[in-house]
Amino acid sequence: MGDFKDSASALVADVDCTASGKDLCSDIGVRGYPTIKWGAPGALEDYQGGRTYDDLKAFADENLKPSCSPANIDLCDDDAKAEIVALQALSAEDLATAITTKEADLAAAEKTFEEEVEKLQTKYKSLMEEKDTAIAAVKESGLGLMKAVKAAAAASGDKKDEL
């Protein structure tokens, strides 16, 4: 936080979500700890990078600076400016509906991911059980005895004549 204390474009802060910061954390969607959020104050995103100081510093240096937004439209390319203008032209109700739709799309993607991971976990467990059963069957079928006979024969120098 000290590295950015005098920054005009970045705020790096520590919030205790279990105490006085509980409402703020709830408002911005903190569900687990530690959580790192970044971006425009009204549209924070989850940070997914490394957690070392060097990782965080590199990310901050690259990303925590003024960027294209309604507040900094002069930093936008023509396409982004047009998109911002189009969104600003929407009524508050239409914009809220569009946001709700996009958030539902995100929730659906997350749900699909979680369901598919659950299927993979179930399949993994089933495959592990099949593997363990197969290994046990091979061992019970005499593999150990075969290896013991081979080792004993090699140790005694006993060689069988071939025809």
Query: Does pTM surpass 0.75?
Result: no
Cβ of 30: how many Cβ atoms within 10 Å? 19
Q: Do the beta carbons of residue 59 and residue 51 sit within 8 Å?
A: no
| CA distances for 15 relative to 2, 122, 163, angstroms | 15, 38, 83
Residue-wise pLDDT tens digits, 27-57: 888 887 788 888 877 788 888 888 888 998 8
Structure tokens at 80: 């982004």
DSSP state of 162: P
Query: Residues 26, 38: contact at Cβ < 8 Å?
Result: no
Predicted confidence (pLDDT) per residue in 50-69, tens digit: 888 899 889 888 887 778 88
Spell out the domain ranges in the chain: 1-66, 90-154
Residue 160: the pLDDT is 57
Burial of 84 (0-12, 13-18, 19+ CB in 10 A): middle
- Output the pLDDT for position 156: 84
